[in-house]
Amino acid sequence: SISPSELTNACLQRAKNNSKYNAFITLTEPEARKQAEESSERFKNQKTLSELDGITIAMKDNFCTSGIRTTCAAKMLENFIPTYNATVYDRLSKAGTVLIGKCNLDQYAMGSGTIDSIYGPTKNVWGYSDDPNDFFIAGGSSGGCAVAVATGACFAAVGSDTGGSTRNPASYCGLVGLKPTYGLVSRLGLIPLVNSMDVPGILSRTVDDCVSVLNVIAGHDPKDSTSFTKPYRRIRLPPANKMSIKGLKIGLPVEYYCQDLSDEVLETWNWVAQLLEENGAVVKEVSLPHTEYSIVCYSILNQCEVASNMARYDGIEFGFRADENISTEKLYATSRSIGFNEVVRNRILTGNYFLLTRNYDKYFNKALKVRRLISSDFDKVWEDVQLLLTPTTLSTAPKYKDFVNKTNRDQCALQDYCTQPANMAGIPAVSIPIKLSNSGMPLSLQLMGRNLSEPMLLALAKYIE
């Protein structure tokens, strides 16, 4: 077997050899070597910290890492070096894992393609072409994480998921992508997008790998008031051949048979549903009637929370400061107009508009009510079935040139259709790779379950995988 130091060297080499995909913003080489040496020492002394000791990981660059630059792919935080670790990273590092780098994302995780980064787009490994416009997108906003795992530069990566940002790139890159139950994994140190929906997500090659990471990062964090206080019970999945799905009730929500669903995704969905049925599951159509309002409702809530979250970037305490000395207001304005891209600025402006006293009820409060309806659709469906099987994305990964033609809003409307509702309700969801399309691109499906149903959700994911 190889030592953690050898493994780390190999992974760093992998990352460098694959730089054309642009998965990493920062390779944390010195830190990785140090962590790996310490881990190698522990192996020598037979004092390893966990089953993940010496295993390489990567983090999306919106998780604070002490002493390591954390940029959110924005000029605003280009030189930001946090003084503390996100709880998720803290736990991973205490379990002995080796951080090899910080991964590319859409600026502040606003997007679904990993194309809106000041470091340039991340490219999918599948169907790769050297033509700067003719590559397939990796999906997003955790696209860098997905490609880091897909190229074998690390064992697993931690992304974030507010509307689909972990599941979408997992789907396009042929990986497992888990969005855990809201509150199961601490958000401390995850730079917020929509506080009421953000969760750290896991991208890995297999469901077992995903479980190993979840078992390290999940559980109460006194520093995150939204994290569950109930003690976390480690998940242990049986071997797939020892599992039975006999009698398991699985729902296919009719609203997910939507207009833009590609034939191949539809066929894959039907095929897997049929296989599950043949193996003893009870598969039936169910309804989540408010699904179609999810995207527009999300868009309002997102922009309102963004308007509030982005207020901290004034160019004074931390972050980019423009060279401006006319007035404090001018300093704020210039720093922010240079520090944020158009998508971020747009969302701030729209959010502030929705939050005006005269608009508050009409938009923000209304959206909260719609959110409750979407959430209660799920509550009702759990009286009928235990899990839901749906597409993750409506098609395989689009090409960059076809994707950038659309506005950020339209991109999200299409990309997040199947993933967004789970964030509204806070429920866990996982994207699982199923097979390759005729053109050789990964096709994936999504499973959703009720709050804290991860053990069952991941067991079925493993069974399908």
Q: Which is the catalytic residue, given 5, 39, 40, 60? A: 60
Residue 181 found at the interface with ligand GLN (CB under 6 A): no
Residue 163 found at the interface with ligand GLN (CB under 6 A): yes
204 is catalytic: no
Using CB under 6 A, count the residues that bind ligand GLN.
15
Residue 110 found at the interface with ligand GLN (CB under 6 A): yes
Q: Which is the catalytic residue, given 112, 160, 165, 186? A: 165
Q: How far is the CB of 167 from ligand GLN (least distance, A)?
A: 9
Q: In DSSP terms, which residues pair with 123 in a beta bridge?
A: 137
Determine the residue type at 366: K
Instruction: State the binding string over 59-98 for ligand GLN (x if CB under 6 A, else -).
Output: ----------------------------------------
Residue 350 found at the interface with ligand GLN (CB under 6 A): no
CB 350 within 8 A of CB 344: no
SS3 145: helix
Residue 414 found at the interface with ligand GLN (CB under 6 A): no
Q: Which is nearer to ligand GLN, 429 or 461 (CB)?
A: 429
| Footprint (CB under 6 A) of ligand GLN, residues 360-399 | none
Q: Please count the residues of the chain.
A: 465
> What DSSP line would sit under 53-104, residue for residue?
TT-EEEEETTB-BTTB---TTSGGGTT---SS--HHHHHHHHTT-EEEEEE-
Residue 191 found at the interface with ligand GLN (CB under 6 A): no
Within 10 angstroms of residue 242's Cβ, the number of other Cβ atoms is: 7
Residue 162 found at the interface with ligand GLN (CB under 6 A): yes
Burial 429-444 (b: 16+ CB within 10 A, else e): bbbbbbeebeeebbbb
> What are the Cα distances from residue 17, in Å, to 23, 43, 61?
11, 28, 20
Residue 341 found at the interface with ligand GLN (CB under 6 A): no
Q: Which is the catalytic residue, given 5, 93, 117, 141? A: 141
> What are the Cα distances from residue 199, in Å, to 127, 163, 164, 224, 326?
30, 10, 10, 12, 40
Q: Which is nearer to ligand GLN, 31 or 116 (CB)?
A: 116
SS3 373: helix
142 is catalytic: no
165 is catalytic: yes
Binding footprint of ligand GLN on the chain (CB under 6 A):
109-112, 141, 160-165, 193, 302, 412, 416
**Catalytic residue positions?**
60, 141, 165
